[in-house]
Amino acid sequence: MDDENVLEPSVLKAWLAHVQRPRTVRMLMLTIAHLEGIDTANLKAWYDVSDDELELWFDDLEQYSLPVVIARYEGVDFAELATASGLTRQTIADWFAGLEGEPIEEAADIIARYSARQARPLLSTRESRVHYLDYQAIRDQGWAIDDDDLFEKASDAALSPEDYGRVLVEAGQTILEAVEQRGMTWPYACRGGACANCAVIVLEGDIAMPGQTVLTDHQVRVVNARLTCVGVPVTDTVKLIKNVQRLDAFEDLRLPSPMTEFST
Ligand code: FES
């Protein structure tokens, strides 16, 4: 077990009071016994586990943080969440790993809601700083979306707050709600995940999109597009390009918009 994943019996005992499934209880108790020096043969006999089950459990604890392992044993379906949110499984795992910083009772409650499929994927539990840069401003400056130092160049240029800036998105807010709350102009049309007018391209961090049905797998996974009217940040920081709906990748999904279209 590496230094990052050192387990404390007190932490395992605290989780024991909040997990739901007998199998999770058994594995936590077994781990506490292991930390107290009980050998493998006795662990298997006392807790009625096979070699494979024991090996898999300790491998998981080596590889992942405790909330991720517990979430799996409690029945959270990472693949289902990835499909529903348009995020990668790694982002889902990173999000559950972030529960390590939360009080155990609250983290266990969140896991229980995901296990019971009562939470939207992914429920945002913390605020996020979203840095945005407008696609038209990139074109006007002669830059390209894949420039390495795009946001550094933008911070040095005299861009308007509509073109470049940062907005704090509160827990549970969509990005569109956050920018509108601050009186900003932001492209949109349907407001329900059914067009591409509010699309952005994510360069750093990630955004979950519960309920989006229109973006293709290619647009989500290769272009890294997200819809901000339903999009909830799941990382502490997000960097994105807004106003990308005029790109060819979104041509078929644009709707007539109440917002002013930019010129090409
Ligand atoms: S405004 Fe239509 S998907 Fe967001």
Residue 128, SS3? strand
Q: What pLDDT was estimated at residue 260?
A: 45
- Whether the bond into 122 is cis, omega within 30 of 0: yes
Q: What percent of the chain has pLDDT over 70?
A: 88
Q: How far is residue 130 CA from its own chain's centroid?
A: 14
Q: Which of 175, 186, 197 to mutate to test the pocket of ligand 1 (most atoms within 8 A of CB)?
A: 197
Phi, psi (degrees; rounded to nearest 5) at 138: -60, -45
Task: Say how far apart CA 46 and CA 71 lie, in whole Å.
Answer: 24
**Residues 76/82/88/93 CA torsion (nearest 10 deg):** -10
Residues 6+ apart with CB under 8 A from 234: 87, 91, 95, 122, 124, 128, 205, 206, 207, 208
Q: What pLDDT was estimated at residue 5?
A: 56
- What residue has token string 């930390």? 35
Q: What pLDDT was estimated at residue 127?
A: 85
Give the model's confidence band at 106: pLDDT under 50 very low, under 70 low, under 90 confident, else very high. Answer: confident
For ligand 1, which residues put their CB under 6 angstroms from it?
188-191, 193-195, 197-198, 227, 229
Phi, psi (degrees; rounded to nearest 5) at 243: 70, 35
Q: Which two tokens stand for residue 82?
A: 């990835």
Q: Which of 175, 227, 243, 253 to mutate to test the pocket of ligand 1 (most atoms within 8 A of CB)?
A: 227
Q: Which of 229, 245, 257, 261 to mutate to test the pocket of ligand 1 (most atoms within 8 A of CB)?
A: 229
Q: What pLDDT was estimated at residue 48?
A: 92
Q: Which two tokens stand for residue 159?
A: 């861009």
pLDDT at 261 over 60: no
Q: What pLDDT was estimated at residue 264?
A: 36
pLDDT at 256 over 80: no
Residue 237, SS3? strand
Task: Say how far apart CA 238 and CA 132 lie, in whole Å.
Answer: 8
What does the pLDDT look like over 29-59, one tens digit per residue?
999 999 999 999 999 999 999 999 999 999 9
Ligand 1 centroid to residue 195 C-alpha, Å: 5
Q: Which two tokens stand for residue 203?
A: 């360069």
| Domain range summary for the chain, segments of one domain joined by + | 3-115, 128-253
Task: Say how far apart CA 184 and CA 167 lie, in whole Å.
Answer: 10
Task: Say how far apart CA 102 and CA 99 lie, in whole Å.
Answer: 5
pLDDT at 26 over 80: yes
pLDDT at 141 over 50: yes
Of residues 224 and 95, the one with the higher pLDDT is 224
Residues shown for the chain:
264
DSSP string for 191-227: SSSSSSTTEEEEEES-EE-TT--SS-HHHHHTS-EEE
What does the pLDDT look like over 56-76, one tens digit per residue?
999 999 999 999 999 999 999
Residue 264, SS3? coil
Other beta carbons within 10 angstroms of residue 258's beta carbon come to 10
Mean pLDDT of the chain: 86
Q: What is the CATH number of domain 128-253?
A: 3.10.20.30
Q: What pLDDT was estimated at residue 1?
A: 46
What does the pLDDT look like over 147-206, one tens digit per residue?
989 999 999 998 999 999 999 998 778 899 999 999 998 999 888 888 888 999 999 988
> What are the helix and strand counts (H, E) for the chain?
12, 7
